[in-house]
Structure 1
Amino acid sequence: MKDSPMHDTSTTAIRSDRLSALRTQMLAEAEITSVQNQSLIQSRREQICEAALSLFLEKGFAATTIRDICARSGVNQASIYDYIANKNDILRRLLNQLWFREDVSTLPIILLDENLSLEDAFEKYFRESWSMKRDGTLLAYRCVPHMQAEDRRALHAREFAVMKDLSDQLAPRLGMHSDDQRLDIVANLMVFLSAFGPMRDWLIRDIPDEVILRTISAGAAAMVRSLADQTQT
């Protein structure tokens, strides 16, 4: 059964615009102009970032050195700074590519489709997040403590805004007031559940992916709807 749509067109358009603007905000990458050949820059940065990602996930950000990245990527240590500024610059580029990737919809954007039930919306969100943002999720959760202060602030601001946008989308679906703080808690939990696949499914590898996906989606939808039931009683 579909949830009763309660959005008006103007509100949806405003929210859509706000989400669109939010998704264009990235972590600041260093501007490096010592090499003019753009195809070479792109190729070398891909080598460097690919090697760094595997090392960050294997050894951790703090334990990985530039020397390690050079050895894994095949880029000479004497020239690596022609393509990246430092290790933090590599992390910013990776998070922009993997955590903020634009081809994976956020849950607030998915919920703009009023024809989707909560179960269907959550299933679509978790499916895309668990499959397409797996490395980005692992990287973000493992590396946040090592990020520069300004990068943590930028990451926090973007994640907080996504959480608030999700609250905005859930409120009319559940017939709740947008200022109800429980919506923020549930919205934060939904985003946290998007990390379940990458961070916890190694413990239940004998269970089919579709079973895990449907179970989590159904449980999340039931929990969200329980807020509306509590409000009405």
Structure 2
Amino acid sequence: MKQKQFPSTHPGRASSHPERTQLQEATVAGVRNPSLAEKRREQICDAALELFLQKGFASTTIRDICARSGVNQASIYDYISNKNDILRRLLNQLWFSSGAPSLPDLLAEHPENTLQENVAFYLKEFWSKRRKGTLLAYRTVPHLTKEDRKAMRARDEQFISRLAESIEDLTHLPENDPRTLIVANLVLFMANFGPLRDWLHQDLDNDMVADTVAAAIVAMIENLARYSPEQSESPSIQD
């Protein structure tokens, strides 16, 4: 069977969707040369990402980051404000602006594809492009500021709301059926499951895992369309 083609989502593409909002980065103007400042920030963030994922955010010091990045400790604050500023920049790059497509966008832009094809493509792109961002986000949540946690939660809530609307359209369910929010929440959980499953089933083919999870998501959505919330009993698998 010929693989369906999907356009890649450019990480820098402007979007009107509120779920693309980013965290507020500090304004640091210690170095007047913009290209040098950007190069140094990239060195700092690359080194910090490795350390945050290896040692954890709390156990990583600015001295560790300087040693790994090659940036002098006396000048590092010319490029970043503090360790939380580094974390925000990494999350903006790897979590908010990863380039992975949004499932509601795929469903709206590619109605010619089957639901399972759209969901499977979404999972594969999410697991590929947002892998490090997801790992970083889940491991550093306790160390985020209250405002940063609020912004990240709001983004997830906006995604869930948009996906619930897409599910309503697919299933022809009435507006605000609470089950669509439950399924949308589960879809986001299952998308995040991919990067977080590294410790388990590492020998399984990633595409096979994505296709299997996509089939489960499609089954959940199809089940919503088949059974109304007024039914007192759910049918058994044997029925």
> What is the CA distance between 1:210 and its match in structure 2?
2.1
CA distance in 2, matches of 1:182, 1:21: 23
> What is the CA distance between 1:122 and its match in structure 2?
0.9
> What is the CA distance between 1:182 and its match in structure 2?
1.0
> What is the CA distance between 1:185 and its match in structure 2?
1.1
CA distance in 1, matches of 2:173, 2:47: 47
- The answer (yes or no) to whether the contact 1:123–1:214 under 8 Å persists in 2 is yes
> What is the CA distance between 1:178 and its match in structure 2?
2.4
2:227 aligns with one of 219, 227, 230: 230
Deviations 1:29-83 (A, max 9, x none): 0011121100101100000000110111111111111111111111111100000
Q: Which position in structure 2 is the counterpart of 1:127? A: 124
- The answer (yes or no) to whether the contact 1:23–1:102 under 8 Å persists in 2 is no
Q: Which position in structure 1 is the counterpart of 2:236? A: none
Residue 141 (structure 1) aligned with residue 138 (structure 2): yes
1:151 aligns with one of 148, 165, 168: 148
The one-letter code sitting in structure 2 at the alignment partner of 1:98 is: L
Residue 164 (structure 1) aligned with residue 161 (structure 2): yes
> What is the CA distance between 1:224 and its match in structure 2?
1.6
> What is the CA distance between 1:116 and its match in structure 2?
2.4
> What is the CA distance between 1:158 and its match in structure 2?
1.4
The structure whose RCO (Cα within 8 Å, separation 6+) is larger is 1
CA distance in 1, matches of 2:96, 2:199: 24
Question: Once superposed, what is the RMSD of the aligned Cα atoms?
Answer: 1.5
CA distance in 1, matches of 2:210, 2:20: 29
Q: Which position in structure 2 is the counterpart of 1:16? A: none
4+ residue stretches of structure 1 with deviation over 3 A? none
The one-letter code sitting in structure 1 at the alignment partner of 2:22 is: M
- The answer (yes or no) to whether the contact 2:98–2:129 under 8 Å persists in 1 is no
Structure 2, unaligned runs of 5 or more:
1-14, 232-239
TM-score w.r.t. length of structure 2: 0.86
Structure 1 or 2: larger helix share? 1
Q: How does 1:21-32 map to 2 (within 5 A)?
A: 21-32=17-28
**CA, structure 1 residues 51+34, in 2 after alignment: closer, same or farther (shift >3 Å)?**
same
> What is the CA distance between 1:124 and its match in structure 2?
0.8
The one-letter code sitting in structure 1 at the alignment partner of 2:49 is: L
Structure 1, unaligned runs of 5 or more:
1-18
CA distance in 1, matches of 2:212, 2:19: 29
CA distance in 2, matches of 1:130, 1:24: 18
TM-score w.r.t. length of structure 1: 0.88
Q: Which position in structure 2 is the counterpart of 1:75? A: 71
2:48 aligns with one of 45, 52, 60: 52
CA distance in 2, matches of 1:148, 1:201: 27
Q: Which position in structure 2 is the counterpart of 1:106? A: 102
Q: Which position in structure 1 is the counterpart of 2:186? A: 189
Q: Percent identity?
A: 50
